[in-house]
Amino acid sequence: MQRILAVLLLALSALMGAGCAHNAAETSTGLSYRPGDVGVYAVSAPRRGGVGNVVAPVPAPPRTPSVAYDRLTPTDWHLAAGSWVGTPYRTGGTTREGTDCSGFAGSLHSEVTGIRLPRTTGQQWEAGQEVPVNALRPGDLVFFQTLRGQDAVSHVGVVVGPGEFAHAGTSTGVVFAKYDQGYWQRRLVGARRFVP
């Protein structure tokens, strides 16, 4: 039994380094892995004088937020959004390789809270719970009208702290900005909240 546990631990520890690799790699035991393969693996019993084989990966459980939604702090939101800063703007994008404003808002919310938001700015505006601007808290979405001659909301960002939001601008990519002054204050239409 101890030998089986030792083999299991050896196989798992060899695979734990997978998250740091960028390409497929091979462990000292001859096992290959790719980033994202880290998880629980089924291991066959060792043969006499040998090592057991990794049989099949068992998918890791889905990510869930580690902190209750109501206990998330401005720091939690700021750090999560900060990890996106510098991501270029890409129409229709939802990843760190390129994102648009609603893709960023949805991806950030999913990452921090586990809540899946509708995909487009208009859909997010319609689906969220209305919140007065003077009652905003981190995680709320702020909506803007940035297109001349149109009444519909056209831009969205995520509140990360008092007066501050993160958003994906067409010319800036993901950045932090102030929603309570200047350009953004003049175009602020309203806010929405998504809670579990």
Domain ranges of the chain: 66-193
Query: Averaged over 11-27, what is the pLDDT?
Result: 37
Q: What is the pLDDT of residue 13?
A: 42
Annotated active-site residue in 22, 78, 109, 167: 167
pTM above 0.75, yes or no: no
Annotated active-site residue in 22, 78, 109, 155: 155
Confidence of residue 106 (pLDDT cuts 50, 70, 90): very high
Active site (annotated) includes residue 78: no
Average pLDDT of the chain to the nearest whole number: 77
Which residue do the tokens 């909506």 mark?
143
> 47, 49, 52: which is closest to 29 by C-alpha?
52
Q: What is the pLDDT of residue 32?
A: 36
Task: Tell whether the model's pLDDT for residue 42 goes beyond 70.
Answer: no
What pairing do the DSSP bridges indicate for beta strands 32-33 and 25-26?
Answer: antiparallel
Active site (annotated) includes residue 20: no
167: buried, middle or exposed (CB in 10 Å: 19+, 13-18, 0-12)? Answer: buried
Q: What is the pLDDT of residue 149?
A: 86
Task: Tell whether the model's pLDDT for residue 31 goes beyond 60.
Answer: no
Task: Tell whether the model's pLDDT for residue 110 goes beyond 70.
Answer: yes
Percent residues over pLDDT 90 in the chain: 59
Higher-pLDDT residue of 25 and 114 is: 114
Query: Averaged over 16-40, what is the pLDDT?
Result: 36
What pairing do the DSSP bridges indicate for beta strands 141-144 and 129-131?
Answer: unpaired
Query: Averaged over 54-73, what is the pLDDT?
Result: 55
Annotated active-site residue in 20, 22, 78, 101: 101
CATH of domain 66-193: 3.90.1720.10
Q: What is the pLDDT of residue 195?
A: 87
Helices (H), the chain: 2-16, 74-82, 101-113, 121-127, 182-187
Neighbours of 151 (CB within 10 A): 8
